[in-house]
Structures are given as structure tokens and as C-alpha cells.
């Protein structure tokens, strides 16, 4: 269902979003201009015939007011009692200057930064970066006049709400009228849609087996292992397969030398394409793509901690039912914005898992068991987006699996190299000396994308409440499934059908051969049994004949003796 046209009074982002009202509303009257939530430059009242100048999205508080009982507060008295808690920000600065300051300091390009935040379908002429203040960038605090030809952030959200195109995971589905419940149900449907099918997993196992056979033939003394999302079943259709070669005499092994041989081995094979040896990564790897199935593979050397990580993640998923579905949603969210590759400055799936654990294991309502996580996925997704997109200051805070640490005090807790304050810092739950986000150079894009998603969803829910309209999809506002992924999955299904049909023919041929061999053996057994029976009969006949001759011998002897006697008498 598409939304009706928005009245002019509701086009620009209000500083106070109206709360939902279950009772029928009277005819709309001219709404008074709301008071701003933060310090803004004084402006003249807009003419009745001209829309007011759009502003940045409102602070979280008005959005929470609009959501009323649907939203669960993460703030609680159980939080860290430090007065300078860097996770808490004041309401008059909802869009903290951290991303803007880092952006201006590093000279990031507006279009490139916004493209990474908004997704791959960004067009520079129509979508301004949503988290930025309308400033000139000179640092003098003066407001820059907004380009009237560009739509405001709320207009963009409303435009997407009016889009009747359905994401593939909502086709044929119906959802609750409660929008946060709808978001929860939509997450479940998305996970069912995007998770690997039995056919896809079977083909991945074939690809793994082919790589294992080839590498062990080249390195017979090595141990081959698979780790990462393939083992935890947290992979998406586009996810790569992490493999490793391990050697007992690891102190004498040069990983670069081994990977060079792997690189040459893959290039000689016709089964792999797009082969790349990434020497500059913190962990050198050889990347390739399986030519038949299209699966990306990463091969490393002596990554024995990968199996420990797999065991830990499986244990975390057993303890937290919400971890798997939220991980799949956020992995796809990062992939849509090209922020999912660590060696390109993004975040890994294990980093996302750790960030989720930090929230799930410290959320007051979850800790007190007053909230069932598996029944509130939509609320928890909003909480996570708010926590890391609005409240989180990555320059001051290090994330750990059961909370956070202030970076200035971290040295006494965790060993390892010093932390770059401009980067994210997220500690490995299985090895606290390992900073998972050490290579995540795109911190502005990552935090900005999370913040954009939070404001997109909260404003969309508030506007739907205000307009009393039900959206086609909420999750589809921040996630897209590229058509190439759908085509690849369909191609894999066709390949599996062909292999299945071919295997059926092979199985039928094998069964026929086995039946023929069985019939042949049965015929030979019957022939042998018949021959044996004849032989036994012949032997029995021979024995019977021998006995007859033996009984006649004394009589003949007697006759001869008598004849001789008779002859002698004569």
C-alpha cells in the first residue's frame, strides 16, 4: 500500500514528531511552529505559500515520544557510574560533531562519503549526507543556505515510504499494525529469505572439497581447515569462505612463501578466477573466486585461532537467541554500503557480533530478564542503531563483549599496540589483546551509516503514526538485495539441479551395474550349485557302483576257487 500525498505542513522535519493517537483525529488545523531542540540560527517566519527550510533530523527524544510504548530505553541506572560516561550525549546535540570533525580533518569527499552511508544507489544530486550539519565547513559555525532543489532528509524518507515496490522478503507476507512488531516480523522473514539454502550449502561444500584436495596434494604435511561464517552458518549469499593451511613446524614456516605457492597453484588451475595475493593485509591472504559456482574464497596460513572463534560464536548464539538474526541483518546493511571488508577499512562479521554482544550482555532489561530478546528483534535493532549511531563516541570508547572501556584507561586492561583515537576499537572476546577494528579506517562512514539508519527508521515509524499509514516495508528502507545476488542464487539453484540430475543418472547407472553384477553373481552361484549337485550325484553313483563291485568280488572268488577245485578233482 502506498502512502497518500503528504500535506505541506508535514513535509519538513518537525522538531517534535507527533505521537500516535488511536482515536480519530479532527480536521487538521495549522500547526504552530515548534520550538527547536538545539541551538539554531534565528530565521524569519516562512511565508504561508512557501515551505519552511528543512533542518536536520530531530533528536532521539522526540522520536521516542512518537513511538511511545513501542520503544524500550537502553539508558538505565545500572550503566557505568562515571560522570564523564562517553556513551551519553546531551539532547541538544543529537548529531554529535565526531563524524563531521573527522570528515573535515581528513578531507573526505561529500559524494563518496554519502554514497557509502546511504548505499550503492546514491545519486549526488538528490541525496545530501543525512548526518551532516548545514555548515560551510570553515569552522566558524555559520549556517550554509540549503540548496532548495535538493529534498530534505524527511522528504527522502517519506518518498521511500510512498514507494510501493516490495522487497523480495515481504512478497506474499502480512504484518502487524504495530510498527515495531512489524519490524520484528520483517526481520524474521528477511533471515528466512537470505540465509543459505541446503542446495547452496551443498555447493559450498563441493567447492571446499575441491580446494582441500588441491592444497593437500601440494602440501601433504599441512592441516586444512575452514572457519568463519561458513562454519557458524552466518554467511550471506555473497560471503566468502575462509580457509587456512596449518603446519606443525609453524615457527619455520614463512606464510608469504606458502601463499605464493598457493597463488601459483590457483593460477595454474582452470577452476578459479580473479586470483589476488593480498600481501599488505595484517594477515596475508590469497583471494580467488570459484569459476563454476562463483564463491569467493580466502586462504591464509596458520590461523589456528579461527577454530576458537568458531566455537565462541556458536556458544554466544546458544546464549543469545537474537544474535544470529541481528547479525545477518547488520551484515547485509554493511554490505549494501561496501563497509564489510576489513582490508578496505570496513568491519568484519565478527566485529559486528562483538558489537551486538556488548549491547545484549549489558542491556538492563535483558540482564534483569524483563525482556525476551527473540520476541523483540525490531526494538533491539533500533536500540543497537541508536547506541552506536547516536550515543557512541568511538574516539573515547573501546567496545568489549560485556560492555565498554574508556580508551584513556584501556592500557591497564588490555595489552597490545596503542589505539588510534580516530579509529574504532573493538576487542576480540576470545583474545582481548586483539583489536578487531584496528584496520577499520572508514570509521566516519561506518558511524554515519548506522546513524542514518537509526534516523531513517525512527522518523519513518513516527511519520507513519502521524499519517496513520502502514508502510510496505520498514527494513527495506535501510536494506536492499542487489539483483545480481538474486541472479547468482538462481544460477546456483540451476547448477544444483543439473548436478542433481547428473547424479541421479550416475546413481541409476551405478544401481543398474550393481543389479547386473548381483544378477550375474546369482547366476554364477546357481550354475555352481547345479554343477555341484550333479557332481555329488555322480560321486554318489560312482560310490554306489564301487560298492556293488566290491560285494560281487567274494562271490566271483568263490566261484573261481570252486571251479579250480572242480577242475583239480577231474
- Per-residue pLDDT band at 411 (split at 50, 70, 90): low
Question: Mean per-residue pLDDT for 149-154?
Answer: 80
Residue 122 predicted with pLDDT over 70: no
Residue 4 predicted with pLDDT over 60: no
Distance CA 319, CA 416 (A): 29
* Interacting residues of 144 by C-beta distance below 8 A, sequence separation 6+: 134, 135, 136
* Chain mean position to CA 312: 17
Question: Do the beta carbons of residue 464 and residue 447 sit within 8 Å?
Answer: no
- Per-residue pLDDT band at 46 (split at 50, 70, 90): very low
Distance CA 37, CA 368 (A): 33
Give the pLDDT confidence score for residue 91 in this predicted structure.
33
* Interacting residues of 3 by C-beta distance below 8 A, sequence separation 6+: 158, 161, 162, 464, 467, 469, 471
| Cross-strand partners of 61 | none
Question: Mean per-residue pLDDT for 511-525?
Answer: 78
- Per-residue pLDDT band at 310 (split at 50, 70, 90): very high
For 44, 48, 341, the CA distances from 31, given in Å and listed in that order, are: 17, 12, 47
Residue 448 predicted with pLDDT over 60: yes
Give the pLDDT confidence score for residue 251 in this predicted structure.
61
From 502, 498, 501, 334, select the one nearest 424 (Cα to Cα).
334
Give the pLDDT confidence score for residue 439 in this predicted structure.
81
In tens, the pLDDT along 376-410 reads 999 999 999 999 999 988 788 888 887 777 766 55
Question: Do the beta carbons of residue 429 and residue 401 sit within 8 Å?
Answer: yes
**Eight-class DSSP state of 426:** B
State the Cα angle at 335 between 329 and 337, rounded to 5°: 115
* Interacting residues of 199 by C-beta distance below 8 A, sequence separation 6+: 492, 493, 496
| Cross-strand partners of 553 | none
From 511, 304, 469, 319, select the one nearest 402 (Cα to Cα).
319
In tens, the pLDDT along 529-562 reads 888 888 888 888 877 776 655 555 555 545 544 5
Distance CA 6, CA 370 (A): 39
State the Cα angle at 161 between 159 and 163, rounded to 5°: 75
397 vs 309: which has the higher pLDDT: 309
113 vs 373: which has the higher pLDDT: 373
Question: Do the beta carbons of residue 267 and residue 277 sit within 8 Å?
Answer: no
130 vs 519: which has the higher pLDDT: 519
Residue 347 predicted with pLDDT over 50: yes
Amino acid at each position: 500500500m502506498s502512502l497518500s500525498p503528504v500535506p505541506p505542513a508535514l513535509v519538513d522535519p518537525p522538531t517534535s514528531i507527533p505521537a500516535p493517537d488511536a482515536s480519530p483525529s479532527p480536521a487538521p488545523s495549522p500547526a504552530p511552529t515548534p520550538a527547536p531542540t538545539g541551538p539554531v540560527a534565528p530565521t524569519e517566519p516562512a511565508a504561508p505559500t512557501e515551505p519552511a527550510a528543512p533542518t536536520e533530523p530531530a533528536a532521539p527524544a522526540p522520536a521516542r515520544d512518537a513511538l511511545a510504548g513501542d520503544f524500550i530505553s537502553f539508558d538505565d541506572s545500572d550503566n557505568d557510574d562515571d560522570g564523564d560516561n562517553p556513551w551519553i550525549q546531551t539532547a541538544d546535540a543529537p548529531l554529535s560533531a565526531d563524524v563531521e570533525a573527522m570528515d573535515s580533518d581528513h578531507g573526505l569527499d561529500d559524494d563518496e562519503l554519502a554514497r557509502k552511508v546511504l548505499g550503492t544507489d546514491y545519486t549526488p544530486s538528490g541525496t545530501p549526507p543525512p548526518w551532516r550539519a548545514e555548515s560551510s565547513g570553515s569552522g566558524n559555525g555559520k549556517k550554509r543556505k540549503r540548496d532548495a532543489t535538493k529534498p530534505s532528509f524527511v522528504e527522502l524518507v517519506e518518498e521511500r515510504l510512498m514507494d510501493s515496490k516490495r522487497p523480495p522478503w515481504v512478497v506474499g507476507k502480512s504484518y502487524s499494525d504495530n510498527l515495531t512488531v512489524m519490524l520484528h516480523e520483517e526481520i524474521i522473514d528477511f533471515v528466512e529469505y537470505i540465509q543459505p539454502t541446503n542446495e547452496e550449502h551443498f555447493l559450498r561444500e563441493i567447492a571446499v572439497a575441491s580446494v582441500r584436495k588441491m592444497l593437500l596434494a601440494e602440501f601433504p604435511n599441512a592441516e586444512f581447515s575452514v572457519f568463519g561464517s561458513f562454519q557458524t552458518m552466518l554467511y550471506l549469499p555473497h560471503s566468502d569462505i575462509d580457509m587456512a593451511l596449518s603446519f606443525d613446524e609453524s615457527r619455520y614456516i614463512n606464510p608469504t612463501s606458502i601463499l605464493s605457492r598457493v597463488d601459483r597453484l590457483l593460477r595454474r588451475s582452470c577452476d578459479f578466477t580473479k586470483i589476488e595475493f593480498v600481501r599488505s593485509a595484517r594477515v596475508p591472504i590469497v583471494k580467488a573466486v570459484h569459476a563454476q559456482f562463483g564463491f569467493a574464497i580466502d586462504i591464509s596460513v596458520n590461523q589456528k585461532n579461527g577454530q576458537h572463534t568458531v566455537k565462541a560464536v556458536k556458544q554466544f548464539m546458544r546464549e543469545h537467541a537474537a544474535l544470529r538474526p541481528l547479525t545477518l541483518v547488520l551484515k547485509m546493511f554493511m554490505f549494501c554500503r561496501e563497509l564489510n571488508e576489513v582490508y578496505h577499512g570496513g568491519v568484519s562479521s565478527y566485529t559486528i557480533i562483538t558489537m551486538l554482544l556488548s549491547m545484549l550482555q549489558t542491556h538492563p532489561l535483558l540482564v534483569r530478564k524483563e525482556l525476551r530478546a527473540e520476541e523483540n528483534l525490531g526494538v533491539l535493532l533500533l536500540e543497537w542503531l541508536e547506541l552506536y549511531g547516536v550515543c557512541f563516541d568511538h574516539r573515547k570508547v573501546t567496545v568489549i563483549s560485556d560492555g565498554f572501556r574508556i580508551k584513556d584507561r584501556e592500557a591497564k586492561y588490555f595489552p597490545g599496540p596503542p589505539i588510534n583515537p580516530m579509529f574504532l576499537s573493538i576487542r576480540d572476546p576470545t583474545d582481548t589483546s586483539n583489536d578487531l577494528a584496528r584496520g577499520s579506517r572508514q570509521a566516519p562512514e561506518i558511524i554515519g551509516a548506522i546513524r542514518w539508519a537509526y534516523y531513517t527508521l525512527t522518523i519513518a515509524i513516527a511519520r507513519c503514526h502521524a499519517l496513520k499509514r502502514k508502510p510496505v516495508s520498514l527494513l527495506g528502507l535501510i536494506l536492499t538485495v542487489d539483483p545480481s545476488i538474486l541472479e547468482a542464487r538462481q544460477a546456483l539453484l540451476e547448477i544444483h539441479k543439473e548436478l542433481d540430475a547428473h547424479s541421479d543418472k550416475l546413481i541409476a547407472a551405478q544401481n543398474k551395474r550393481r543389479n547386473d553384477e548381483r544378477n550375474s553373481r546369482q547366476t554364477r552361484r546357481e550354475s555352481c550349485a547345479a554343477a555341484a549337485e550333479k557332481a555329488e550325484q555322480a560321486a554318489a553313483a560312482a560310490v554306489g557302483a564301487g560298492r556293488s563291485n566290491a560285494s560281487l568280488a567274494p562271490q566271483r572268488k568263490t566261484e573261481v576257487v570252486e571251479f579250480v577245485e572242480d577242475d583239480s578233482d577231474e
